[in-house]
Amino acid sequence: MNAAETLRLHISKTTNLSPEQFDYFYSQFTPLSFKKGQAIISEGDKVEHEYFVLNGCLKSFYINDEGKMFILQFAMPTWWASDYNALYSGNPATSNVDCITNVEILRISNTDREKICKEIHEVEYFFRWRVNRSYVATQKRLLLLMNSDAKHRYEELMKQYPELYNLVPKHLIAAYLGVSRETLSRLYHS
Amino acid sequence: MNAAETLRLHISKTTNLSPEQFDYFYSQFTPLSFKKGQAIISEGDKVEHEYFVLNGCLKSFYINDEGKMFILQFAMPTWWASDYNALYSGNPATSNVDCITNVEILRISNTDREKICKEIHEVEYFFRWRVNRSYVATQKRLLLLMNSDAKHRYEELMKQYPELYNLVPKHLIAAYLGVSRETLSRLYHS
């Protein structure tokens, strides 16, 4: 599937755009390729774009003062990623986004998203529902982190995203779950 | 300030509605009063509404199988609350919303919100930005929970919402921070 078709199918699950509306919507995006390990957003950057993943896998992460990494999100095909706090506020990035694999993405700027949301009501509807779903997913994850032990969190993650098991190195899954590499190892074999 | 003015001021920070648009928007809401301790949403309920707080304070919370309570959110004046997972999915509520104080709210149904978002583009814009902000706040809280000790989480909460200190009983602040009442006591006196 080419980039336009991937995006068209993704949007069509939420709203209907006419072919002309979709073509105009798609024209706001820039296709880009990155190599495994490349950084897309680094802490301190001015953030002006968000990213729709076509192929591969991104991670967004935070590194604390002691150098420990925390994973906020993995982004697989048809997922969106950015440092949304920085993107919306104009403040410098506090988190990072980089490539776990080679990655193809579509990039759109905050300015162009706002412009097209204003021009096409259905696009505004699409983005509202995209963030509604992200908000609910983040609330669920918060509750899981407060309420569950590492074993349960690991099982939930693998149930929800079984493809992560093969795609993502184990130390990154540990950083997502907020456990040590050793704890995760025990979970694999229990 | 009366209910309509409170809502009008709240909306005007995000978008401009004409007086006629606002009156129509406001007509979608039902004002309601609840007493301290009353439940608004209980686990297992069908959830059809969300709530805009005019006066007082709500909490949304989850109780696990061992009877331990986790607070997802406090909702003070001009904050919104519901079980959004249940509201958006149609599944029964997995969390609860009740009143920490006597409360006055404006209630809107999911159906009416969707209708008015479709009818008035600026209303869709308002709700998109409301959830953008909630999403970013929840991501920040997630990171704080993964990365910080209880003392830092307590200090951040009090810096962000100093009014909670007097409004909310200490055992509920402990349930929000994910610490025991005893740990919180130590933080107060440290």
Do B128 and A131 count as a contact with CB atoms less than 8 A apart? yes
Q: Look at residues A103, A16, A118, A56 and name the one whose alpha carbon lies nearest to residue A8.
A: A16
In this predicted model, what pLDDT tens digit does every residue of A54-84 receive, in sequence order?
999 999 999 988 888 999 999 999 999 999 9
Close Cβ partners of B82 (under 8 Å, ≥ 6 residues apart): B41, B47, B49, B50, B51, B60, B97
> Chain B closest CA to A37's CA: distance in Å?
23
Q: Which residues of B16-29 are buried (b: 16+ CB within 10 A; e: fewer)?
A: ebeeebbeebbebb
| pLDDT for residue A167 | 84
- Does the pLDDT of residue B49 top 80, yes or no? yes
pLDDT band of B190, cuts 50, 70, 90: low
Residue A35, chain B, CB below 8 Å: the answer is: no
> ipTM exceeding 0.85?
yes
**Which of B61, B120, B131 is the best substitution to test chain A (most A C-beta atoms within 10 A)?**
B131
Nearest Cβ partner for A88 among B64, B136, B138: B136
Which residues in B lie closer than 8 A to residue A147 (C-beta atoms)?
Answer: 62, 64, 68, 70
Q: What integer pLDDT is reported at residue B108 of this predicted model?
A: 98
Average pLDDT over residues A163-170: 85
% of residues, chain A, pLDDT over 90: 70
pLDDT at A190 over 70: no
Chain B hits for A88, CB-CB cut-off 8 Å, are: 132-133, 136
Structure confidence at residue B114 (pLDDT): 98
To the nearest whole number, what is the mean pLDDT of chain A?
A: 93
The C-alpha angle B94, B54, B116, rounded to 5 degrees, equals: 70
Q: Does B170 touch chain A (CB under 8 A)?
A: no
CB-based contact (8 Å) between B138 and chain A?
Answer: yes
For chain A, list the strands marked E by DSSP.
30-34, 39-41, 49-55, 58-63, 69-75, 80-81, 96-99, 103-109
Tell me whether B32 touches chain A (CB under 8 Å).
no
Q: Which of A119-128, A141-150, B74-83 is predicted least confidently?
A: A141-150
Chain A hits for B140, Cβ within 8 Å: 85
Q: What would the pLDDT profile of A138-151 be if each residue is shown by its tens digit?
A: 999 888 888 878 88
Q: Residue A131 and residue A80: Cα distance in Å, rounded?
A: 10
Q: Specify the pLDDT at position A147.
A: 81
CA–CA separation, A40 and A34 (whole Å)? 8
